[in-house]
Structure 1
Amino acid sequence: MLRFLVPVLAALLLLPMDAQATERMRLGYGRLITNDAIAEFRDRERTGSYVSSRVWGPEWTGRLPDRFGQLIELRLGVELLAPASLRRPRPGSRPWAGALSAGVHTHFERDSVEYSVGAAIYATGPQTHLDDLQRGLHDLIDATSPSDQVLDNQIENGFHPTVLVETARSFPIGARTTLRPFVEGQAGIETFMRVGFDLTFGDITRGELLVRDSTTGHRYRVVQNTDATGFGFVIGADMARVSDSVFLPSDRGYDLTPRRDRVRAGVHWQGRRASAFYGLTWLGKEYETQPDNQLVGSVRIKLDF
């Protein structure tokens, strides 16, 4: 696996250095914050994440380019996962985990099929100092911090090369509704195959570049069309067969659920000088001893000066 992943990552990292690099310009920037505290006000399981993307490519025309490597996305991410109790987790609870990631992705379209191909490196364990970050933030707002027992049992230090491929196709339904089924596969930090759909209502996000958040499945705006104003609504769902997860190691006795489900809904708002997004995502159980499903919230606010 490592002998396959590293060359793919290296090839993507070298894409900006090829002859087409002179044709690229900075096209946009997107980000998304996700936390269970802005949905059900509890710290547990997929407790928090942050992802940001910067994109370079040829002049944006409202459609993806037709060649691999013309449009390049640099994606940075942070994710925290925690047991249901941060002080005294019951037996079978997930281990605390923190992950930092940096990846390079390319997006293109051929014969009406949209492709997203990427590779990333994930760092886990105390070396990330995300445990210190969560403790500091929780102390600042006077919230419960993870105990020494929880952090001593966290996922250990490691580096995990990961590749991700998504294919999708958009089908207009009427004048202002679009159905976009997709298939996604990943190998690395978590290895899975996933199928799902996104349904978009309204003109917001039409002719834009959106990329998928790994925690929730929400697609966040990176290249925006500021001419459209008002509201847009999205709903989506997917299910995955996860065969391996660094966050839930089998050698610690964790049994993954046969299926991992997500259901989400969100609203975009676009004004003349500002835009915002809020979404909710229901996350099904990921391992057999997980106490319950959970609900997380996602938000993005952009102000143009």
Structure 2
Amino acid sequence: MTRPSLARLAIDHFLAAAALVVAVALAMPAVAQERVTLGWGRLLTNDAIGDGKDRWRTGSYVLNRVRGPSWSGELPTRPGEILEFRLRVETLAPADLVTPGPLDRRYVGALTLGMHTHFQMAGIESSVGLDAVIVGPQTGISRLHGDLHDALGLPAPTVFGGQIADDIFPTLTAEFGRTLDFGSSVSFRPFVEAQAGAETLLRVGGDFTFGHVATEALMLRDNSTGQRYRAVAGDRVQGISVLLGGDIAEVYDSEYFLATDAITPSDTRKRLRAGMHWQGAQSEVFYGVTWLGKEFDEQPDDQLLGSINLRLQF
């Protein structure tokens, strides 16, 4: 699915500048201080803990390792100081894995490996990164999915033979946002994001935070839900924080849909999300729910995904 437009050209220029930032960051000499691991981010997302249905953007898991010389509670002004290394696994599937309908999406198993840098420019919080999105049977995701069905005594899926074929899509993503504070524990962060590669899109949205989960912390954004989760802790005030957000994207291209398919990918995608983060003396728990609008015109319904992150210490 490809839709050339003036907006697409703007994305190309926008991401070309982002690519230059990545190149400059990689070419810069190492900072004087040795890099250390500043924190880990992780988020499990599945519709089994959302609407309870196994379909479409059905599940993902992301693991992030953040390294840098130190963390002062705010982003550095130079790209390349803070590096995030990302591993992500995602499954997209038709609504029925055994007898899929003729107007449903193909199965996709995607394994993502990437590096992103986080910094700020004139108060604008910036994230720029490059990922390799690996798809097809070569990832082993469909084989693992089938083994799981066998172990649970579920019917064997038949959709794997028609899944998106083996390929690797270099994908560049850039996000820019600004946090607006409204008191000691309320903030709003509007953002714009552009992505080119496995999927090419331009997204705008915003997120409210009520509480201290994001105070002096490095927050990351999940690709499929847009949920923001903490990778480097800042203010560890005990209590509950609530996160509310939403965004809309204009989609120009997606490698997850083939021109020969009988379905029509949607030009826009909408997301609404809510989450609750509990911080204890040593442990923390996050649970969020995300509403996803339709990604192709023939999709009969929207869907709800649940996301969870547990950090338990005893």
Q: TM-score range by the shorter chain?
A: over 0.9
Instruction: Report the more deviating stretch, 110-119 or 17-26.
Output: 17-26
Deviation sequence 1:11-36 (CA, Å, 0-9, x none): 56983983217442210001000000
1:89 and 2:108 matched:
no
Equivalent position amino acid for 1:224 in 2: A
Separation in 2 of the partners of 1:197 and 1:100? 27
Alignment length (residue pairs): 300
Separation in 1 of the partners of 2:112 and 2:24? 14
Aligned-pair identity (%): 46
Distance 1:134 1:67, change over 3 A: same
Aligned partners of 1:204 and 1:229 also within 8 Å: no
Equivalent position amino acid for 1:272 in 2: A
Aligned to 1:138: 149
5+ unaligned residues in a row in structure 2: which ranges?
1-11
Equivalent position amino acid for 2:287 in 1: Y
Equivalent position amino acid for 1:175 in 2: S
Distance 1:36 1:144, change over 3 A: farther
1:203 and 2:212 matched:
yes
Map 1:152-301 to 2 at 5 A: 152-225=161-234, 227-301=236-310
Distance 1:64 1:283, change over 3 A: same
How much does 1:131 deviate?
A: 0.6
How much does 1:204 deviate?
A: 2.1
Equivalent position amino acid for 2:188 in 1: L
Aligned partners of 2:178 and 2:190 also within 8 Å: yes
Query: Considering only aligned residues, what root-mean-square deviation do their CA atoms show, in Å?
Result: 2.2
Separation in 2 of the partners of 1:162 and 1:9? 14
Aligned partners of 2:213 and 2:236 also within 8 Å: no
Separation in 2 of the partners of 1:254 and 1:243? 16
5+ unaligned residues in a row in structure 1: which ranges?
none
How much does 1:8 deviate?
A: 4.4
Instruction: Report the more deviating stretch, 284-293 or 12-21.
Output: 12-21
Aligned partners of 1:35 and 1:297 also within 8 Å: yes
TM-score, structure 1 length as denominator? 0.93
SS of the residue corresponding to residue 63 of structure 1 reads coil
TM-score, structure 2 length as denominator? 0.90
Distance 1:143 1:282, change over 3 A: farther
Separation in 2 of the partners of 1:137 and 1:225? 38
Distance 1:134 1:152, change over 3 A: same
Equivalent position amino acid for 1:27 in 2: L
